[in-house]
Chain A
Amino acid sequence: MTEPDDFQEIDLTPGGQKKIGTLANLKDINLTSAIRARGGGQSQVDQVRTDYQSLKVGELANLAATGDADAETAIKILKQAKRKREK
């Protein structure tokens, strides 16, 4: 599969790498798609600041490493997108 012409790979900073953990393979996908890919739904997407929903996961990880609390929230929602177990 070829990448679109405007595709730009995100370079993770060392801090961004740590924030994203083992989800580095999702770094070039926008957050909404990534949340859905990990089993989350619209409610998880809606938790995230609107203008961050379309950012790439790698961009958000790098922002989180700079102390951006909204980006930190977005990454955590992504990590915990799928409900772990039913009550």
Chain B
Amino acid sequence: MDDEFPIGYSLKEVIVQEDKEFDSNELCLDWVLLSFGDRTVTLKACPDTDEIEITINSVDKQTESAAAGSSQANSMSHWFYPLINQKLQAVWVCENNQGYQDQVIFAFDHLRPSVSFLAEGSVIKVFRYAQVLRNENRISLAVPEVSNL
């Protein structure tokens, strides 16, 4: 079926169209294509509502054409390298409190969030997940204590 995420497939390539109109150092993408061999997942930002449009399909001439047009942006993307050849385990398609679908989270290798794509400002922004470890709790000691009333 074309509308199912390729769960269990290994990530082979990530192709992006980077938006360079903005001045910040944030990575801003018009769209991102995750290739799992013969299956692809494309995420595109909707400028009107800052939602994410998801397209899942088999590789066809349209996506190959899109890939060819973004080779420059692809060569600059390093954030996905650790995910290459990892199996897609789960996907969360998130709807925010206002009812807008503006975030998609992917879990690779394990059933834990690996990377998320959030629509904001007419583009897609990328966030990597890192689990908080026990010894990192020490950081919380730096938070000012609340007085006992």
Q: Which residues in A have some Cβ–Cβ distance to B below 8 Å?
A: 14-15, 18-19, 21-23, 64-67, 72, 75-76, 79-80, 82-87
Binding site of A, secondary structure by majority: helix, strand, loop or mixed?
Answer: helix
> Once A and B bind, how many residue pairs between them come within 8 Å at the CB atom?
55
- If over half of B's interface residues share one DSSP class (helix, strand or loop), that class is named, otherwise mixed; here it is loop
B47 at the interface (CB under 8 A from A): yes
Rounded to whole Å, the gap between the CB of B30 and the closest CB of chain A is 10
Shortest A69–chain B CB gap in Å is 8
Across the interface, which residues of B come within 8 angstroms of A72, CB to CB? 120-121
Task: Please give the residue numbers on chain B whose beta carbons come within 8 Å of chain A beta carbons, in ascending order.
Answer: 19, 21-26, 47-50, 96, 98-100, 102, 120-123
Contact B121 A80 (CB under 8 A): no
Contact (Cβ within 8 A) A79 B50: yes
User: If A15-B23, A67-B23, A67-B26 touch, does A22 touch B99 (CB 8 Å cutoff)?
Assistant: no
Give the nearest-CB partner of B30 in chain A.
Answer: A18
Report whether B48 and A22 are in contact in the complex, using a CB–CB cutoff of 8 Å: yes
